[in-house]
Amino acid sequence: MDLKDKVVVITGGASGLGQATANYMVREKGARVALFDLNEEAGAATVAELGDDNAIFCQTDVTSEESIGAAIAAVIGQFGAIHANINAAGIPLPCKILDKEGKASSLKKYATVINVNLCGVFNVMAKCAEQIAKNDPDVNGERGVIVNISSGAAYEGQIGQSAYSGSKAGVNGMNMPAARELANYGIRVNSIAPGLFGTPMVQSLDEKVQQSLINMCEAPKRMGEMNEFAHTCAFLIENGYMNGRVIRLDAATVMQAS
């Protein structure tokens, strides 16, 4: 699918990888973007940078059907359609199975991570797919694309990541059934499992901590660049033969236990 003038909904679009992808889509691909995020100040600043003709911000809670429904309506009201959806919103809340005293972790804490990182992805994907299915098909019968963001932790989660890793493995697990079901509507579904990227949150860590993480990268020995992630999102949207697959974007990194 050619991204020129297409409308891309990006959750977590006001910060980190989501914001970098929004910038890339507008500046490099000529797309228009809808930023779904909780951070109103950051969202407004991003729209101001990209321009009102190219971007809209919707303050949203991905776990709320009402919130996403209202945001979808706002996007359709401004841009008239949705052609792609990138689900980058997530929380890395640590959750050990047993605490320092050997007591079982709170189920509420575990459920919070699953609700945002997995249920939230399903919620936005489903509501965007409903709109994408209304688009006229192109010459190949395609109406749109969904890209869900997983994590390398889905494969090699560290200690304390049982909730986070479980949620991201769930994102990968949705890939094939979603691709099979939505094929009838001309919608492709893929996911990206990113490794270590130089987001503001990661770069705020102590230099020794950053270096210890970089040491786990096989090659190249560095953090991923934000545009490398955004480029991969664009590739999955543009390449019409990519469907139902997970791309590990991680420099062959295998995370250690801690």
* Distance from the Cα of residue 63 to its chain's centroid: 14
C-alpha count within 13 angstroms, C-beta hemisphere, residue 152: 19
The predicted model scores a pTM of 0.95
User: Structural domains in the chain?
Assistant: 7-247 (3.40.50.720)
Tokens of 139: 């010459």
Q: Which three-class secondary structure state does DSSP give residue 150?
A: coil
Known catalytic residue at 164 = yes
Q: Which three-class secondary structure state does DSSP give residue 198?
A: coil
* Other Cβ atoms within 10 Å of 102 Cβ, number: 6
**For residue range 116-148, what is the model confidence (pLDDT) as tens digits?**
999 999 999 999 999 999 999 999 999 999 999
**For residue range 74-83, what is the model confidence (pLDDT) as tens digits?**
999 999 999 9
Q: Which one from 110, 164, 185, 241 is the annotated catalytic residue?
A: 164
- Range with lowest mean pLDDT among 7-16, 97-106, 201-210, 242-251: 201-210
**For residue range 39-66, what is the model confidence (pLDDT) as tens digits?**
999 999 999 999 999 999 999 999 999 9
Q: Answer yes or no: are the C-beta atoms of 128 and 170 closer than 8 Å.
A: no
Quote helix, strand, coil % in the chain, to nearest 5: 45, 15, 40
